[in-house]
Amino acid sequence: MKNLIILSSFFALLGFSSCTDRCEQTVTYRYQEAYYITTADLRNSIASEAPKALQNPGKIYAKGNYLFINEIKKGIHIIDNTNPSAPQFVSFMNIPGNTDIAVRNNVLYADSYVDFLALDISDPRSLKVLNRTENAFPSGSIDGTHWQYDFQNKTITDYRWATRTSTQTVECDGGSITPVYYEAFMRADGSFSSKTGAVSSANPSNTTGVGGSMARFAIQGNYLYAVTNSEMQLFDIQKPETPAKGNKLNLGWGIETIFPYKDKLFIGTTTGMLIYDNANPAKPTQLSSLAHVLSCDPVVVDDRYAYVTLSSGVGCRNAVNQLDIVDIQNLKNPFIVKTYPMSNPKGLGIDNKTLFICEGTFGLKTFNAADVTQIDKNLLAHFKDINAYDVIPLGGTLLMIGTDGLYQYDYKDPKNMKLLSVIPVKK
């Protein structure tokens, strides 16, 4: 009996001394990991290589029989698209920091972090650097990351998405548990502005390619306009092989996309659309602006209307997901005609009143936009189960890029679009 009491007390004491709750939490989170590139290394890395598979495609560009697909911050895939049902990879141009493409004649313009390159594409199997404008861009954003150039150290600081796992002790009972540490500072992303296939040129013998709706480069007349987060840098490309750095305009912040149309420039920003008069290409002047909710918005334009998609996502907080139809008959006074709710619209394209809208993970939608007030009632097709980021309508063939790959459709009969080919992304 005595033993039992002693035993029990011992029991109790032991029990009490260890009566502390123990709680542990393991968190896996995405964050931005910095890495550095010197300008010397950057300039030494430009090279033409054997073709590779798509991994992280960005913007697309079409010129003649060729397709140029940006591999985000890595370079450009060159694809022979003579037969859209069977596109062929030709080569890969290694260009660190590349996010945009534009082509005039046989010159391909590409950015490479701080530099602006002019490449000779007369032999698509082997591109050569014709000209390099150094330090044309001081910083840039894409895919939620932002890079910056340090002039003194001649080094570029860039970030890549990485995941990290860490474990720590947390409060056990009561009180909310917030994850250990997570950071995801998102900047205004290189959201793409939509461009319809406008082949414009002052000189009829000049041919310019067509960019998708996510481009920051636009060629109009003898100028290439490159928008960064807050500025527009002009390049005089009268002599395409030797671009000359021209004026730089300060546009405010949150600039995302540029769309030239006739002698006007439509600029998409996170807070609205700006319309510039480009009568004097060396010096565009602002005509008007149309403010909207903080979103990301590519713009495409035809004669009467501007079609703007607003979406949520990287750098697009407080966002709505919708399509705005803007009447631009009077450019000094644009106004919204109608707004349509959408799922998560990104790039778009318009060709002869057929409107193509990329809805990210929600797929690709095609509408008959003959009556802009009845667009939602005129859905021609909805391709689900594909990721749609941006499109280029090329007079019958639609090029669509997304995280799954490059899809080509025949849209000569918009009510019966046919899938021609797919270049898949290597997963």
Partner 1 sequence: MKKLLLILTLTLILAHTKADDKPFKRSYTNHTEIGVLLGKSFGGVTAKANVSLQSFNGIRLTPKLAVGGIVGLDWYASAQVIPVGVGVRGTVFKAKKLNPFYGLDAGYGLMFASTKQENEKISGGLMLNPSVGMRVALGGGNALTWSIGWKHQSTYSSIDNFGDVAQPTWWWGQYQTETHKIFERLSVKMGITF
Measured in whole angstroms, the distance separating CA 422 from the mean position of its chain's CA atoms is 20
* Dihedral of the alpha carbons of 57, 63, 67, 72, in degrees to the nearest 10: -20
Binding mask 305-334 for partner 1 (x = CB under 8 A): -------xxxxxx-----------------
Residues 273/290, Cβ–Cβ less than 8 Å: yes
Q: ∠73-77-78 over CA atoms, to 5°?
A: 145
Give the total of residues touching partner 1 (CB under 8 A): 52
Q: Which window, 77-85, 174-182, 221-229, 373-381, contacts partner 1 (CB under 8 A)?
A: 174-182
Q: Is residue 50 a contact residue for partner 1 (CB under 8 A)?
A: no
Q: Is residue 31 a contact residue for partner 1 (CB under 8 A)?
A: yes
Q: Is residue 15 a contact residue for partner 1 (CB under 8 A)?
A: yes
Q: Is residue 20 a contact residue for partner 1 (CB under 8 A)?
A: yes
- Per the rule left: phi > 0, alpha: psi between -120 and 50, beta: everything else, 43 is alpha
State residue 358 phi and psi, 5-degree precision: -85, 125
Give least dist CB 359 to partner 1, A. Answer: 12
Binders in 347-406 for partner 1, by CB under 8 A: 360-361, 387, 403
28 or 88: whose CB is closer to partner 1?
Answer: 28
Distance CA 346, CA 242 (A): 34
15: helix, coil or strand?
Answer: helix
Kindly tell me which residue out of 51, 64, 179, 424 binds partner 1, with binding defined by CB under 8 A: 179
Give least dist CB 144 to partner 1, A. Answer: 6
Distance CA 299, CA 276 (A): 14
Kindly tell me which residue out of 6, 162, 184, 282 binds partner 1, with binding defined by CB under 8 A: 184
The one-letter code for the residue type at 76 is I
57 or 87: whose CB is closer to partner 1?
Answer: 57
Q: Is residue 14 a contact residue for partner 1 (CB under 8 A)?
A: yes
Distance CA 37, CA 80 (A): 32
Q: Is residue 99 a contact residue for partner 1 (CB under 8 A)?
A: no
Distance CA 207, CA 106 (A): 9
Q: Is residue 130 a contact residue for partner 1 (CB under 8 A)?
A: no
173 or 303: whose CB is closer to partner 1?
Answer: 173
Distances from the Cα of 247 to the Cα of 98, 236, 267, 281, angstroms: 22, 9, 17, 10
Point out which residues bind partner 1 (CB under 8 A): 1, 4-5, 7-8, 11-12, 14-16, 18-31, 144, 161, 169-175, 177, 179-180, 182-186, 312-317, 344, 360-361, 387, 403
